[in-house]
Amino acid sequence: MITLYHNPRCSKSRDALALLEQHGQPFQVIEYLKTPLDEGALNALLAKLGLTAREIMRDKEEEYQQLGLAEPSLTEQQLISAIVKHPRLLERPIAVIGEKAAIGRPLANIAAIL
């Protein structure tokens, strides 16, 4: 089963949804702003992506600036906690297929794991 972490207001996320619909395999959509990831789920997602919390943060979001998240001394745990508390910080869209995951920026990243 494919899982798409999705924000319907985001054009890249809508493009990823269309790609999955065209692909024809079953998938589930998680609107992560309505159903935020907890720390365990976020850690599992990071492992599948092979990325750090900083690498999946949207650094242009207002919360990123307000919370001082650009500070290089912040630990991975502090960044994970920030994403859990402020899900808008999570880059989107993200597709998960088994033990693989990809951020859909560019969309070809998701196509590559299908």
CA angle 107, 32, 101 (to 5 degrees): 40
Q: How far apart are CA 6 and CA 36, in angstroms?
A: 11
Torsion over CA of 80, 41, 9 and 106, rounded to 10 degrees?
80
Catalytic-residue membership of 10? yes
In the set 2, 10, 29, 44, the catalytic residue is 10
Positions marked catalytic:
10
